Amino acid sequence: MEEMMRKSKGLMLATKLPTTMNDIPDHLLRLIFCRLDSHVFFLRAAAVCTRWRRIASTRGMRYRDLNYHDFSTIMGHYHVIDPPSSSKPRSPEAQRHRRVVFIPASPSIDARHFTLDFLPDGPGNRPWQLVDGYGSLLLLTNQRRSFFPVLDMIVCEPISRRYVRIKPTEDMKYCHCLGVFLNRRYNVTSMSSFTLTCVVYESSMGISDDVCFVTARVYTQEPPGCRRWRSGWSMPHRARSGGIHIRGAAESVHYAGRSRGYTFWGNEDDGSVFAGTEGTEVLSQFHLPENVRGSYHISTFRFVDDGNDNLVRVVSLIGNDLMVFLKKEHNNGGSDWVLVRRLHLPEATLGLPGYKECFFSRTAKIVTAGKGYVVLTPAEETWLFSVELRTMQVEREHIRNKLAGEVYPYELRFTSRERRICTGWKTPFSTGFPTGANLSVLKGYPFSTGSNTWC
């Protein structure tokens, strides 16, 4: 009897079908899709079969998980040439001669498609200066000093050679601008749908000569067919209700980075930091603890975005060490910043091409920063290198280390039609490749530019 049972069991095992991908349950497939490294792999997985497409769509995944894949491809970087080696203030003549250089991400991309020669002349024949970029959009103003009277601005899309000229309101013309930025709180950004924030200051009458009142004004470009939003600047009373008073000369206030949907400025006079919530008129002020900010100088710390963990990151230079601190809320008055990474720069850069023993006798300087990285240089001379914040790996040959100054990646995004074909994800506005864009610049990239899907 036992022998018959063994034979029967062996026969069942022999006739059992082999395990396939169809045996993976839905909840495990969702976890696998969320951990794909590339949005190209994500779209290819969604095109395999109806079941996988359903799981990859918004019916099967949360928006937060889908938003992890930004469906964008970096075409290159715009560099604003701004040598940081000199600590002396730059003259207006030097400011006017800043250059913008586009460096393609691939040799097959023709940089001529990304020039800014289609822009009109600025007021008084002043050149336009690049101050921010997000996705396929660039933001330019007439001057790029740390503070300047609020003048005309331009939001443009080089690949489609389109632009929108934005004029300040009458009440803004009597203020000075600390900075203007494209808002990045949402992935829906195109020439027909974007917002920007302009942070301005004015003297506080009747308080003190060294006290300024800082407010934020939001400009909204209405998308086609949307009646919920109104194109134009936000109302002045909303800006004043969210404003703050700062002490010290406005010249001592400098941009200090972006993190978790906030834009930060540092005040070298009193060491304070104030932040603006992107897309709103709300400002807040706070102080960084001494163990986080070793110096009041703006080149020694920077707020940085890195990942999707909803935490504020600040990178600080204390002595010869680069430190990364995390905190859930930046302005709750506490000192509970957590040190998560530390790098000794003289040791980490030893052996890199161009390294000199005289480097790092003084504190290094932060040149610029982007999502997940920071670019630095020794104080002795301009010798650019970058640090990946997740791995603390030091790089010298990366494209972002070619020129000193701010760097803005230029990205192209998949159209909403192509997303729906692959994933069933319905978006309210077109966030993909610009209308009229010359897609021949994509030659050599690992996907088609025709009417087929990108999987």
Tell me the pLDDT tens digit for each residue of 34-44: 777 666 677 67
- The answer to whether the CB of 303 falls within 8 A of the CB of 258 is yes
CB 201 within 8 A of CB 147: yes
- Phi and psi based region of residue 232 (left: phi greater than 0; alpha: psi -120 to 50; beta: remaining): left
From CA 131, how far away is CA 304, in angstroms rounded? 17
The helix (H) or strand (E) run that includes residue 390 is none
Over residues 119-162, the pLDDT tens digits come to: 988 777 778 889 999 888 999 987 645 455 677 889 999 988 99
* Cα separations in angstroms, 52 against 6, 32, 211, 354: 39, 11, 59, 50
Are the C-beta atoms of 372 and 313 separated by less than 8 Å? no
- pLDDT averaged over 10-residue windows placed end to end, the chain, 455 residues: 61 64 81 72 75 67 51 82 50 55 87 90 82 91 62 88 88 81 72 85 69 86 64 74 77 85 86 85 86 81 80 90 85 72 93 91 90 91 92 88 84 58 41 48 40 27
Q: Round to whole Å and give the CA distance between 198 and 195.
A: 10
Q: What is the pLDDT of residue 205?
A: 62
- Quote the pLDDT of residue 14: 54
Q: Which pLDDT score, from 0 to 100, does residue 138 have?
A: 94
The count of C-alpha atoms lying within 13 angstroms of the C-alpha of 425, restricted to the half-sphere facing its C-beta, is 29
Residue type for position 220:
T
Sign of CA dihedral 109, 110, 111, 117: negative
Q: Residue-wise over 262-284: b if at least 16 C-beta within 10 A, else e?
A: bbbbbbbeeebbbbbbbbbbbbe
**pLDDT the model gives residue 189:** 65
For residue 121, the model assigns a pLDDT of 84
Virtual torsion, Cα 241, 247, 250, 252, nearest 10 deg: -130
Q: What are phi and psi of 244, to 5 degrees?
A: -135, 160
How many Å apart are CA 289 and CA 68, to the nearest integer? 32
**Per-residue confidence (pLDDT) for residue 61, from 0 to 100:** 54
Identify the pLDDT of residue 90.
47
Instruction: Compute the distance between CA of residue 106 and CA of residue 277 in angstroms, rounded to an integer.
Output: 35
- H or E stretch at 211: strand 211-221
Residue 111 tokens, joined: 């940089």
CB neighbours of 260 closer than 8 A, spacing ≥ 6?
A: 305, 310, 311, 312, 313, 330
Half-sphere exposure of 342 (CA within 13 A, CB side): 8
What pLDDT, on the 0 to 100 scale, is given for residue 315?
Answer: 93
Q: How many CB atoms lie within 10 A of CB 224?
A: 8
Domains and CATH numbers, the chain: 72-411 (2.120.10)
How far apart are the C-alpha atoms of 293 and 350, rounded to whole Å? 25
